[in-house]
Amino acid sequence: MNLIGKPGEKNLKKEGRAMKRLLISFVLAVALLVVPIAGALAAEDTVTVTATPGFVAISNLPDTWAINNVGGGNGAIEPGTIYYSNPLGDETAPSSTVVDGDCYFEITNTSTVPTNIKVDIGAFTLGDANMTNSDLGSASNDATTFGASVWYSGLTYTSKVISKSTGSDNLISSLVAETDLKWGMEILTRTDVFTGSTSSDATITITATSA
């Protein structure tokens, strides 16, 4: 009996081991399948937020422009005339390549990243020289609209940028971090004559964004 029983026990042990291996293989296979699937599902359901570190900061001086009164003019304006924010002359165009001396405004840029800067100008209101922006630049006006363009020191003057009421193109793209910018504006007044002497106001908005 003992002689017969011993080989039977061996077979049982062998089969037990085989079953164990089979079970372990099965569990491993399931784990191999489940882990990547779970990972993929988890990744798909995750919203990622990536903030590019970067400080964006500018300021501008001066914050006012009395048209026809920064380059020797008398402050009175005429219809259908281009006026420049040019300290060298209110009716003097900047140099072919704009130089610092042509520029009345200066943006102090303390950003730590390259910055895009654009300039918008809204309608003139609350006076006798009211007019809206043609959004077509300083070569385009009509009875009720004015045109405006901007430029900066170092720019080829003919590449000046149209200043719209909103959504102007960038005056400069990717301005180097911590680099200031001297700039100026020109306005072509409306064609209709002015009927009074009460001044009108407009707001210039300088917008800075990370490039």
Partner 1 sequence: MVFGLAAVVLLTPVAALAAFGIDPGKVFVDNLFPGAEADYKITIYNQNDYETTFALKVREPDYTETDYEPLPYLDWVTVTPDRVTIGAMKQSEVLVVVSMPEDAVYSGKKAEVWISFREQETPGMVKIEIASRLLISTRVEEEPEPAKPEAVTAQPTEEAEPTKPSEGAVQPTVEGGGEVGITAEPGGAETVSPEVEPGFPWVILGSVLGVVLVGGAVFFLVRRKRQHA
According to CB under 8 A, which one of 132, 165, 170, 191 is a site residue for partner 1? 170
Q: How far is the CB of 115 from partner 1 (least distance, A)?
A: 8
Q: How far is the CB of 140 from partner 1 (least distance, A)?
A: 18
Q: Total number of residues binding partner 1 (CB under 8 A)? A: 67
Positions in 97-156 near partner 1 (CB under 8 A): 105, 108, 110-111, 113, 115-116, 118, 124, 127-129
Q: Which is nearer to partner 1, 111 or 141 (CB)?
A: 111
If binding is defined by CB under 8 A, does position 82 make contact with partner 1?
no
Is residue 52 a contact partner of residue 210, using CB atoms and an 8 Å limit? yes
Positions in 25-64 near partner 1 (CB under 8 A): 44-64
Is residue 206 a contact partner of residue 143, using CB atoms and an 8 Å limit? no
Name the residue with tokens 């610092």: 100
Q: Which is nearer to partner 1, 144 or 203 (CB)?
A: 203
If binding is defined by CB under 8 A, does position 69 make contact with partner 1?
yes
Q: Which stretch binds partner 1 (CB under 8 A): 12-20, 28-36, 89-97, 134-142?
A: 12-20
User: Which DSSP state fits 102?
Assistant: G
Long-range CB contact pairs, 127-131, < 8 A, 24+: 127/196, 127/198, 127/199, 127/200, 127/201, 128/194, 128/195, 128/196, 128/197, 128/198, 128/199, 128/200, 129/77, 129/189, 129/190, 129/194, 129/198, 129/199, 129/200, 130/200, 131/189, 131/190, 131/200
Site residues (vs partner 1, CB under 8 A): 11-12, 15, 19, 44-69, 74-77, 105, 108, 110-111, 113, 115-116, 118, 124, 127-129, 166-170, 194, 196-210
